[in-house]
Amino acid sequence: MFDELPGSRQIFDLEIDLVQGSCGTAVPFFDYQAPRNGLKDWAEQKGQTGIEEYWQLKNQKSLDGKPTNIVQKNIKS
Protein backbone atom coordinates (compact mmCIF):
# COMPACT_ATOMS: atom_id res chain seq x y z
CA MET A 1 0.00 0.00 0.00
CA PHE A 2 2.99 2.34 0.44
CA ASP A 3 5.79 3.30 -1.91
CA GLU A 4 9.03 1.61 -0.92
CA LEU A 5 11.58 3.94 0.68
CA PRO A 6 15.25 3.20 1.31
CA GLY A 7 15.71 2.29 4.96
CA SER A 8 11.98 2.03 5.53
CA ARG A 9 10.84 0.86 8.92
CA GLN A 10 8.30 -1.76 9.84
CA ILE A 11 4.56 -1.21 9.73
CA PHE A 12 2.44 -2.33 12.66
CA ASP A 13 -1.08 -3.66 12.21
CA LEU A 14 -2.95 -2.72 15.39
CA GLU A 15 -6.38 -3.52 16.71
CA ILE A 16 -7.56 -0.64 18.92
CA ASP A 17 -10.04 -1.42 21.69
CA LEU A 18 -10.33 1.97 23.37
CA VAL A 19 -9.32 5.53 22.59
CA GLN A 20 -9.53 8.34 25.10
CA GLY A 21 -9.21 12.04 24.49
CA SER A 22 -8.54 15.04 26.63
CA CYS A 23 -9.69 18.62 26.51
CA GLY A 24 -6.42 19.63 24.87
CA THR A 25 -6.11 22.80 26.92
CA ALA A 26 -2.37 22.35 27.56
CA VAL A 27 -1.47 20.52 24.35
CA PRO A 28 0.94 22.65 22.28
CA PHE A 29 0.34 23.40 18.62
CA PHE A 30 2.79 21.83 16.20
CA ASP A 31 3.06 23.21 12.70
CA TYR A 32 4.37 21.23 9.75
CA GLN A 33 7.68 22.81 8.79
CA ALA A 34 9.32 20.41 6.35
CA PRO A 35 9.66 16.72 5.54
CA ARG A 36 12.08 14.77 7.70
CA ASN A 37 14.60 13.31 5.27
CA GLY A 38 17.15 12.05 7.78
CA LEU A 39 16.32 8.35 7.43
CA LYS A 40 16.03 8.55 3.64
CA ASP A 41 19.35 10.40 3.31
CA TRP A 42 21.09 7.98 5.70
CA ALA A 43 19.73 4.94 3.85
CA GLU A 44 20.67 6.26 0.42
CA GLN A 45 24.22 6.93 1.65
CA LYS A 46 24.52 3.41 3.14
CA GLY A 47 23.08 1.65 0.09
CA GLN A 48 21.13 -1.61 0.18
CA THR A 49 24.09 -3.71 1.35
CA GLY A 50 24.88 -1.26 4.15
CA ILE A 51 21.26 -1.26 5.30
CA GLU A 52 21.19 -5.06 5.38
CA GLU A 53 24.41 -5.15 7.42
CA TYR A 54 22.94 -2.58 9.82
CA TRP A 55 19.76 -4.64 10.22
CA GLN A 56 21.83 -7.71 11.09
CA LEU A 57 23.72 -5.78 13.78
CA LYS A 58 21.06 -3.50 15.23
CA ASN A 59 17.49 -4.45 14.40
CA GLN A 60 17.09 -8.07 15.51
CA LYS A 61 14.87 -7.22 18.49
CA SER A 62 12.26 -4.55 19.10
CA LEU A 63 12.47 -2.16 22.05
CA ASP A 64 10.40 -4.59 24.10
CA GLY A 65 12.75 -7.48 23.30
CA LYS A 66 10.61 -9.28 20.73
CA PRO A 67 12.19 -10.63 17.52
CA THR A 68 11.63 -8.37 14.50
CA ASN A 69 12.43 -10.99 11.84
CA ILE A 70 13.59 -8.05 9.71
CA VAL A 71 16.40 -10.03 8.10
CA GLN A 72 14.24 -13.05 7.26
CA LYS A 73 11.48 -10.85 5.84
CA ASN A 74 13.62 -8.42 3.86
CA ILE A 75 16.92 -9.95 2.81
CA LYS A 76 16.74 -12.36 -0.08
CA SER A 77 19.52 -14.99 0.04
Mind listing the pLDDT tens digit for each residue in 14-59?
Answer: 899 988 877 777 777 889 999 888 888 999 999 989 998 998 898 8
Distance separating alpha carbons of residues 38 and 34, to the nearest angstrom:
12
Q: What is the pLDDT of residue 77?
A: 64
Q: Which amino acid is at 10?
A: Q
Q: What is the pLDDT of residue 41?
A: 92
The C-alpha angle with vertex 55 and arms to 65 and 12, in degrees rounded to 5, equals 55
